Chain A
């Protein structure tokens, strides 16, 4: 149920015919997992908090360092000095930003054995990661538990994005049969994860509220230098080791 304060706080979006009080209630009663509190995760979680997503579960194993601050807008110089973890740093800012939502922070290494503990109660999970190994772990968990997830990745001025709906769309392993090589120090301008993180937040909110036009079976390619934006159809891999058997 929305309170009078909710009605005032979210008035600009409740005014939208396609969202309304019903859509706002769906946002309020939903739990969204944010896996990674870096360039993508800080901006998605900030806009989830702004939109009134009722409960956020933030998971990241790291602490911010100076080289993160060109893009990870919830981490500040003092967090680097004090050595706060990224999940806790984000939680602190988000709770101050919107006291009406619940923010959970987990500073932990996620493995196959413990992933359920973190994301087992979420309605959706947003992939805000920077390495393919963790992405595949999340992909498998979401396929096996029937949970939608939103994927985005960034590099330099470029990014890509899609929604993965178990049983309905190809999974991440279908789309990328080969894992790209790890690149721990990739070049990036802050706005790129900004735009991609906001597109992820939009996808998630549209999925929760039930709005049309989500990227199902399509990969959006973003080029911020030229704005040549395109969509590529993604296909099921019948041999997919992750989602193959679940589709049968």
Chain B
């Protein structure tokens, strides 16, 4: 613990006394670099708890500005932040909470041109961006660069979380090899959602990231956690790597990044 200040030892003392963490674990947390994709409903609680835990560097990718209708679930942003870039208000909030964390904002969308360069500097990617183009692009990039994704998604009352660790467990394409053709996506209208649901899934994503950093517990590699907020039920489904997967399979056919079009064409990709 020699290289932690006295204040830092007090700040993280409740972790340090856990046998699964200890001084060594806290050092691993401090040396970790985590990239958050999206400072929205999932990224907000994940960002808060990763920062509170003391991760060394937190990168935040988001292209949007804060809108009034975001505030029902995106707790990194306040009323006064409306109209500001989300990565800026996220950075301000995280630094207020824990100035030890180095926050790197990327106020941009992910594209085949920038994704490899952005993920390169990070150990882990926490994906809070639930749209097809970003999901496929990020998945392929992380398989090619051998980066683990902690994935989360929500729909109305249901949430899911899993970990895609390349070549150890399945990737997103093992489950869904190709995006659906544009005409098959029924509607791109934003669906209703209770703010607490992305709250729970985003917090679980932070937990998974910490478990991977600390190498403790049973992370969700090859397992899909399902949460039904209406029934208050958690279930686990086993998911497998597909040897014929076009990107992580034994004979991959995808060796370059693909920019998929946003299907509905009405609005840009959103987190």
Assess whether A189 is in contact with B53, with CB atoms less than 8 Å apart: yes
Distance in angstroms from B244 CB to nearest chain A CB is: 29
Choice from B10, B216, B231 contacting A213 with Cβ under 8 Å:
B231
Contacts of A190 in B (CB 8 A): 15, 49, 52-53
B257 within 8 A of A: no
Within 8 A of B (CB), among A63-107: 65-67, 69-71, 73, 76-78, 96-99
- Interface-facing stretch out of B72-80, B108-116, B143-151, B258-266: B72-80
B225 within 8 A of A: yes
Q: How many residues of chain A have a CB within 8 Å of chain B?
A: 62
Assess whether A13 is in contact with B194, with CB atoms less than 8 Å apart: yes
Choice from A12, A69, A78 contacting B193 with Cβ under 8 Å:
A12
Assess whether A47 is in contact with B156, with CB atoms less than 8 Å apart: no
Assess whether B12 is in contact with A70, with CB atoms less than 8 Å apart: yes
Q: Mask for B203-238, Cβ within 8 A of A = 1, else 0?
A: 110110011000011101001010011111110100
B71 within 8 A of A: yes
Contacts of B191 in A (CB 8 A): 15
Given contacts A194-B45, A211-B230, contact A19 B194 (CB under 8 A): yes
Assess whether B52 is in contact with A70, with CB atoms less than 8 Å apart: yes
Assess whether B79 is in contact with A226, with CB atoms less than 8 Å apart: no
Distance in angstroms from B65 CB to nearest chain A CB is: 15
Within 8 A of A (CB), among B236-270: 236
Assess whether B18 is in contact with A225, with CB atoms less than 8 Å apart: no
Choice from B80, B97, B197, B210 contacting A191 with Cβ under 8 Å:
B210
What's the count of A-B pairs with C-beta under 8 Å? 183
Given contacts A73-B48, A157-B217, contact A191 B203 (CB under 8 A): yes
A8 within 8 A of B: yes
Within 8 A of B (CB), among A1-38: 5, 8-19
Contacts of B157 in A (CB 8 A): 18
Q: Mask for B186-204, Cβ within 8 A of A = 1, else 0?
A: 0000111111110110011
- Interface-facing stretch out of A54-62, A197-205, A232-240: A197-205
Assess whether A70 is in contact with B15, with CB atoms less than 8 Å apart: yes
Assess whether B190 is in contact with A50, with CB atoms less than 8 Å apart: no
CA distance A43 to B97 in the complex (A): 13
CA distance A46 to B197 in the complex (A): 14
Q: Which residue of B lies closest to A10 (CB)?
A: B72
Contacts of A9 in B (CB 8 A): 68-69, 71-72
Given contacts A51-B194, A67-B10, contact A198 B97 (CB under 8 A): no
Of the four ranges (under 10, 10 to 19, 20 to 34, 35 or more), the interface on chain B belongs to 35 or more
Q: Mask for B51-82, Cβ within 8 A of A = 1, else 0?
A: 01110000000000000110111010011100
A215 within 8 A of B: yes
Assess whether A69 is in contact with B199, with CB atoms less than 8 Å apart: no
B142 within 8 A of A: no
Contacts of B236 in A (CB 8 A): 227
Assess whether B192 is in contact with A52, with CB atoms less than 8 Å apart: no
B138 within 8 A of A: no
A136 within 8 A of B: no
Assess whether B98 is in contact with A16, with CB atoms less than 8 Å apart: no
Distance in angstroms from B151 CB to nearest chain A CB is: 15
Assess whether A16 is in contact with B156, with CB atoms less than 8 Å apart: yes
Choice from B15, B71, B216 contacting A98 with Cβ under 8 Å:
B71
Assess whether B217 is in contact with A50, with CB atoms less than 8 Å apart: no
A195 within 8 A of B: yes
Choice from A186, A194, A213 contacting B203 with Cβ under 8 Å:
A194
Within 8 A of A (CB), among B72-102: 72-73, 75, 78-80, 96-99
Assess whether B193 is in contact with A194, with CB atoms less than 8 Å apart: no
Distance in angstroms from B270 CB to nearest chain A CB is: 12
A residues with a Cβ closer than 8 A to B are: 5, 8-19, 43, 46-47, 50-52, 65-67, 69-71, 73, 76-78, 96-99, 156-157, 185-191, 194-195, 198-199, 201-203, 205, 211-215, 220, 222, 224-227, 229
A selection of 9 A-B contacts at a CB cut-off of 8 Å is A13-B195, A16-B156, A17-B192, A47-B199, A70-B14, A77-B98, A199-B200, A227-B220, A227-B223
B residues with a Cβ closer than 8 A to A are: 7, 10-15, 17-18, 20-21, 45, 48-49, 52-54, 68-69, 71-73, 75, 78-80, 96-99, 156-157, 190-197, 199-200, 203-204, 206-207, 210-211, 216-218, 220, 223, 225, 228-234, 236
